């Protein structure tokens, strides 16, 4: 009787030659070799699956797109045709100018044109000569406010007056074409630099006297606002700022200090005019500030010191005692040598 052969062991991937080599080389057990094989298979599947399962790209059909474009073009053409038909059925109306008339605005009978004085006409008189009602009322109101029309050019500039109406009325207006020029030679300052008062009823009278053409230079530290306003371009506001900065500073030592005035920083032409017609006396002594006795409120008003520097100077003085010379200010933090040089003429130490 034949002896049955023993059953063959079941083969697995872990018993393959590569895995046996891995097990011998890295010392893996049989279970670890199976786990490595599964991990490698999963990685391979992850790489191959997107390529295999990628959906098929859509096929472009130009005929379908062309059909859609043709349909949209046909709809647009029909829409334009409908709009043109609507416009032809309802044409645009031409509105003509008309004036509202009624009990409040009665129709004024027209008169034959003859020479007339525009300053003697009422609103009805202008209307009788072809001027619209609202323009006629405006002309009468302007004439009363301006003291009467002085020339035809003023009538021509009236808002709402058509040029054709003006051209028809201009030959009959008893006014010169242009206003006469003013005689500025009669308005000259006297020996004291002031303008003479205007006579009562003088047509050239104005609350703003004309500034002199030949102005003599004057002392910048002695001038008041009236004298500063004689310079062209310097009004009351700028003149007050120049005097105010001079008082805060203690006096101008150089004309270049005018560049520091707030309202003159963006006006180089006005600064040049001020420097041209002013001077600083060589013997002028500025008003000084006693650093050892001045309070914070008195010190910060000096433009070259200001609030931050004044606060530090007062604090240093309280901690270290009074200052002896201007050189002691160099020990105060944030005070630069250039700042100290600007302050030097305006400080004293007592």
Same domain as 343, residue 302: yes
For residue 208, being part of any structural domain is answered with no
Same domain as 162, residue 133: yes
For residue 324, being part of any structural domain is answered with yes
Mark which of 237, 259, 279 sits at the end of a domain.
279
- pTM to 2 decimal places: 0.43
For residue 204, being part of any structural domain is answered with no
Same domain as 274, residue 295: no
Residue 344 lies in domain:
289-348
Q: Domains in the chain: how many in total?
A: 3
The CA radius of gyration of the chain, in Å to the nearest whole number, is: 49
Same domain as 263, residue 228: yes
Mark which of 172, 191, 208 sits at the end of a domain.
172
- CA torsion 273→277→282→287, rounded to 10°? -70
For residue 2, being part of any structural domain is answered with no
For residue 187, being part of any structural domain is answered with no
Q: What is the largest CA-CA distance in the chain?
A: 164
CATH classification at residue 305: 1.10.150.320
One digit per residue, pLDDT tens: the chain, 350 residues? 555 666 665 656 566 777 777 777 777 777 777 787 788 888 988 888 887 777 776 666 677 777 877 888 888 877 766 555 555 555 556 544 545 555 556 678 888 888 999 888 898 999 998 899 888 888 888 888 888 888 888 888 888 888 888 999 999 998 888 877 665 555 555 556 555 555 444 444 455 566 777 788 889 999 898 888 888 888 889 999 999 999 999 999 999 999 989 888 888 888 888 888 899 998 999 999 998 898 888 888 899 888 888 888 888 888 888 898 888 888 887 888 888 898 899 998 88
* 140 vs 122: CA distance, rounded Å: 6
Mark which of 257, 279, 301 sits at the end of a domain.
279
Residue 252 pLDDT:
92
The answer to whether 326 and 343 have CB atoms below 8 angstroms apart is yes
For residue 189, being part of any structural domain is answered with no
The answer to whether 304 and 248 have CB atoms below 8 angstroms apart is no
Residue 242 pLDDT:
92
For residue 135, being part of any structural domain is answered with yes
For residue 323, being part of any structural domain is answered with yes
Which contacts qualify for 244-247: CB closer than 8 Å, 24 or more apart? 245/303, 246/220, 246/221
């Amino acid at each position: 009787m034949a002896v049955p052969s023993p059953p063959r062991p079941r083969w697995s991937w872990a018993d393959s030659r590569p895995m046996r080599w891995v097990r011998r080389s890295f010392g893996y057990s049989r279970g670890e070799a199976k786990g490595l094989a599964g991990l490698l298979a999963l990685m391979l599947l992850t790489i191959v699956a997107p390529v295999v399962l990628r959906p098929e790209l859509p096929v472009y059909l130009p005929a379908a797109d062309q059909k859609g474009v043709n349909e949209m073009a046909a709809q647009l053409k029909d829409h334009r045709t409908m709009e043109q038909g609507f416009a032809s059925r309802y044409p645009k109306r031409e509105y003509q100018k008309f004036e509202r008339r009624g009990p409040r605005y009665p129709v004024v009978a027209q008169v034959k044109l003859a020479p007339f004085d525009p300053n003697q006409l009422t609103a009805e008189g202008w209307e009788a000569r072809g001027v619209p009602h609202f323009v006629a009322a405006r002309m009468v109101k302007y004439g009363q406010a301006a003291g009467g029309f002085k020339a035809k050019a003023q009538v021509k500039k009236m808002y709402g007056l058509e040029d054709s109406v003006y051209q028809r009325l201009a030959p009959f207006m008893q006014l010169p074409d242009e206003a006469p020029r003013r005689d500025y030679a009669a308005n000259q300052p006297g020996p004291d630099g002031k303008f003479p008062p205007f006579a009562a009823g003088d047509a050239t009278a104005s609350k703003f006297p004309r500034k002199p053409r030949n102005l003599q230079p004057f002392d910048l530290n002695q001038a008041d606002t009236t004298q500063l306003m004689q310079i062209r371009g310097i009004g009351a506001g700028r003149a007050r700022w120049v005097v105010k900065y001079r008082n805060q500073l203690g006096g101008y030592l150089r004309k270049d200090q005018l560049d520091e005035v707030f309202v003159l920083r963006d006006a180089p032409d006005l600064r040049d005019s001020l420097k041209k017609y002013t001077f600083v006396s060589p013997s002028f002594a500025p008003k000084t500030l006693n650093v050892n006795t001045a309070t914070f409120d008195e010190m910060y008003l000096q433009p070259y010191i200001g609030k931050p520097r004044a606060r530090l100077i007062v604090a240093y003085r309280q901690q270290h005692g009074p200052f002896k010379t201007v050189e002691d200010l160099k020990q105060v933090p944030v005070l630069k040598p250039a700042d100290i040089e600007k302050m030097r003429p305006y400080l004293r130490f007592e």
